[in-house]
Amino acid sequence: MLPLAGIRVLDVSQVMAGPFCCMLLGDMGADVIKIEPPKVGDQTRRSMGFRLKGDDSPGFLALNRNKRSISLDLKTDADREILYALVRTADVLVENGRPGVAARLGMGYETLRAINPRLVYASISGFGQSGPWAQRPGFDLIAQAMSGVLSATGLPGSEPVKTGVPVGDLGAALFAVYGILSALVGRQTSGEGQMVDASLFEAALGLSIWETTELWGTGRSPQPLGTANRMSAPYQAVQASDGYFVFGAANQKLWLSFLEAADRLDLEHDPRFATNSDRVANQAALIASLHPTFARRTVAEWVDDLLAKGVPAGPIYDYGQALASEHVGARHMVQDIAHPVEGSFKALGFPVKLSDTPQEVRYPPPLLDEHREEILAELVERGLIGSHQMEDATRT
């Protein structure tokens, strides 16, 4: 039995942060019911500029395994009553509308808490449920820009660069999972649920550990460093004879091991590079002095030589190379998921492994409204709606 078996989650969210949060809960065994607008569903179903075989985009497929789907028009009284019936059976609800939208649809926290006091209600928004920016529309790019992340990313003197991975969206999803699980544990003692308020802005800011430390420690806002590190040097990408690789000599022991591997023991007593603090302060001079040395060997030679000395190092792979690597295969990070329309499609595996209850794909990403009759029948069986409501709510 998976750890979250018996926990029911209502996924009333779209696009990335909310669906990713709910998928992670589903991967751990939660019964996730995805509640979507009629006809169009989650807007990610029609996003991206390419398709596989069916109408649903690969982006939707990547974010919605281990869920069942029912479409409800929450602007109608009849479908809101079905939502309320589902809320009576639920442990968690996740929504990611702009603050106030859920309340206007009759599914605000106070409304649903009155129906089910044990409900853990998670809201994921651009800037949170309070504060002067709360009503601003929120996208990952905006969160990265206004949190400071954009200002510290890229190369010195270059135009603004966002992180390639959407840290605001995915970070908010992860923080929401953390809050939801904490609230579920707390409910065991209190007997009551609570509201979880997560935002893209605070996720991006909350991940800015080194950057805020530099600001408060020096009084200066961090500037872009390319691939270099704010707290350690050398720790970045450098150019070998045939391309770039990365390595990190992030403490004094590794620094000395690196000098030995690089045959640059002359730098051991250079006062500019005597300590890690000195090397960080003189990072540009350090890399300049090492540039001719790196040009003497290939990427493969450098990686092998540094690893042999215990210095962390690696080539720079693109996603095709990374996903084709033996290590990814050994860690089962690519899986083929059977699907009623696609036949099968590739998806990322589970990034956390559980020894005794390994995750599994119990449901492929659902077709829109695929599980309507099944979900309504469960509500009838529990006596939460009448059979006539099921008949009225069944759409062709």
* Residues that are catalytic: 169
Contacts of 138-141 with CB under 8 Å at 24 or more apart are 138/98, 138/199, 138/200, 138/201, 139/168, 139/200, 140/16, 140/166, 140/167, 140/168, 140/169, 140/200
Angle between helices 299-308 and 252-262 (to 10 degrees): 130
Contact partners, residue 19, CB within 8 Å, separation at least 6: 11, 13, 34, 42, 44, 63, 64
Q: What are the structure tokens assigned to 61, written together?
A: 């497929």
Angle between helices 140-147 and 167-190 (to 10 degrees): 90
DSSP assignment of 276-330: HHHHHHTHHHHHHHHHHHHTTS-HHHHHHHHHHTT--EEE---HHHHHTSHHHHH
Angle formed at CA 387 by CA 386 and CA 392, multiple of 5 degrees: 100
Which amino acid belongs to residue 315?
A: P
Extended strands (E) in 75-227: 92-95, 120-125, 195-199
